[in-house]
């Protein structure tokens, strides 16, 4: 009730009316304990127009951050930015091709300040999973580029600003597959494991400048509209016997972006219902 009241007062302030909850495409409630804790901060969420990135963008915006929602499709970006604004938050479209280094550099140079970077763009090969001996070089390059190289480009471009500010939060969305491995996902696992290694090294370099660097690794977050049979199977893939949702990941990112996490760096937080305690049931 305290949480809901906090959210209500936040939206009340911004919209001048009192909704009982914020409706999403799949309806859920975004609860914000400290609605103003990111006030005045600028956040960039890559992949902000995707399933998990949308929840993260909304979560940060409802905590007061001005959010740049980054992706490629203007239709998807527009939908998320409109949704945030409808709920009284501040958001902008950032249409950037992350595989183009110059586009990334140009985008970050155009921002006066960046306090929070969330590297969420990415994903596995989905319809193109294959065993290691059969995977095409094109798919391997694409998976490494968007899950690993793009995040490195963003960190490289944003850190001079954060160093000048002597503060910053970098949070990347990994995957428990990076640490555990999974058959037919070797390229994706390599990219996510590489991301963890890169960010832990970056945490050591950036700590003296007041910049924290952490990874949030989801288990399985169902995409689209899974059938009841698929949902039952997904429940068996973790020890809590439940389904992981976008907002579960967003909650962890929101915490790591907040002043409450000021002394946490170089860590990887699994948000997976205990799936990484022993991968099972997801063949």
Ligand X SMILES: NC(=O)c1ccc[n+]([C@@H]2O[C@H](COP(=O)([O-])OP(=O)(O)OC[C@H]3O[C@@H](n4cnc5c(N)ncnc54)[C@H](OP(=O)(O)O)[C@@H]3O)[C@@H](O)[C@H]2O)c1
Q: How many other CB atoms are found less than 10 A from the CB of residue 279?
A: 17
Position 123 contacts ligand X (CB under 6 A): yes
Q: Which of 20, 73, 113, 136 binds ligand X (CB under 6 A)?
A: 73
Q: Terminus-to-terminus CA distance in the chain, angstroms?
A: 40
Q: Which of 21, 76, 200, 233 binds ligand X (CB under 6 A)?
A: 76
Nearer to ligand X, 159 or 175 (CB): 175
Residue nearest to ligand X (CB): 50
CA distance 47 to 246: 13
Q: Which of 5, 223, 260, 280 binds ligand X (CB under 6 A)?
A: 223
Position 206 contacts ligand X (CB under 6 A): no
Q: State in angstroms the smallest separation of the CB of 72 from ligand X.
A: 3
Nearer to ligand X, 14 or 76 (CB): 76
Three-state DSSP state, 57 = helix
Position 53 contacts ligand X (CB under 6 A): yes
Binding part of the chain for ligand X, among 70-78, 109-117, 154-162, 226-234 by CB under 6 A, reads: 70-78
Q: Residues 237, 127, 174, 51: is their CA dihedral positive or negative?
A: negative
Position 220 contacts ligand X (CB under 6 A): yes
Query: Is 255 exposed, middle or buried (CB count within 10 Å of its CB: 0-12, 13-18, 19+)?
Result: middle
Position 199 contacts ligand X (CB under 6 A): no
Nearer to ligand X, 150 or 202 (CB): 150
Q: Residues 144, 149, 152, 154: is their CA dihedral positive or negative?
A: negative
Q: State in angstroms the smallest separation of the CB of 263 from ligand X.
A: 26
Alpha helices in 112-174 (DSSP H): 137-144, 150-165
Q: State in angstroms the smallest separation of the CB of 73 from ligand X.
A: 4
Position 214 contacts ligand X (CB under 6 A): no
Torsion of CA 68, 39, 205, 190, to 10 degrees: -40
Nearer to ligand X, 71 or 89 (CB): 71
Contact 186, 135 (CB under 8 A): yes
Residue 68 falls in the annotated catalytic set: no
Alpha helices in the chain (DSSP H): 2-15, 51-62, 74-86, 101-109, 137-144, 150-165, 176-180, 186-206, 228-235, 246-257
Position 35 contacts ligand X (CB under 6 A): no
Q: State in angstroms the smallest separation of the CB of 53 from ligand X.
A: 5
**Catalytically active residues, by annotation:** 188
User: By the criterion CB under 6 A, which residues form the site for ligand X?
Assistant: 47, 49-53, 71-73, 76, 96-99, 120-123, 146-147, 173, 175, 218, 220-221, 223
């Amino acid at each position: 009730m305290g949480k809901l009241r906090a959210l209500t007062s936040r939206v009340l302030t911004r919209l001048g009316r009192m909704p009982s909850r914020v409706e999403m495409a799949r309806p859920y409630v975004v609860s914000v304990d400290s609605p103003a804790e990111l006030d005045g901060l600028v956040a960039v969420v890559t992949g902000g127009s995707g399933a998990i990135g949308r929840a993260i963008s909304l979560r940060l915006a409802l905590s007061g951050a001005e959010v740049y929602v980054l992706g490629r499709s203007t239709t998807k970006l527009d939908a998320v930015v409109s949704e945030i604004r409808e709920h009284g938050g501040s958001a902008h479209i950032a249409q950037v091709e992350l595989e183009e280094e110059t586009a990334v550099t140009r985008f970050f140079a155009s921002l006066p300040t960046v306090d929070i970077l969330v590297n969420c763009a990415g994903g596995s090969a989905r319809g193109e999973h294959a065993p290691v001996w059969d995977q095409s070089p094109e798919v391997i390059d694409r998976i490494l580029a968007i899950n690993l190289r793009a995040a490195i480009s963003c960190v490289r471009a944003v850190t001079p600003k954060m160093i000048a500010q002597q503060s910053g939060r970098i949070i990347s969305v990994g995957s428990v597959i990076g640490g555990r491995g999974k058959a037919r996902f070797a390229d994706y696992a390599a990219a996510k494991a590489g991301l963890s290694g890169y960010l832990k090294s970056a945490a050591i370099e950036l700590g003296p400048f007041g910049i924290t660097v952490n990874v949030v690794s989801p288990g399985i977050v169902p995409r689209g509209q899974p059938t009841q049979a698929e949902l039952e199977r997904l429940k068996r893939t973790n020890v809590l016997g439940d389904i992981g949702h976008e907002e579960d990941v967003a909650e962890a990112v929101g915490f790591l972006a907040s002043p409450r996490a000021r002394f946490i760096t170089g860590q990887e937080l699994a948000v997976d219902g205990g799936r990484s305690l022993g991968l099972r049931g997801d063949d």
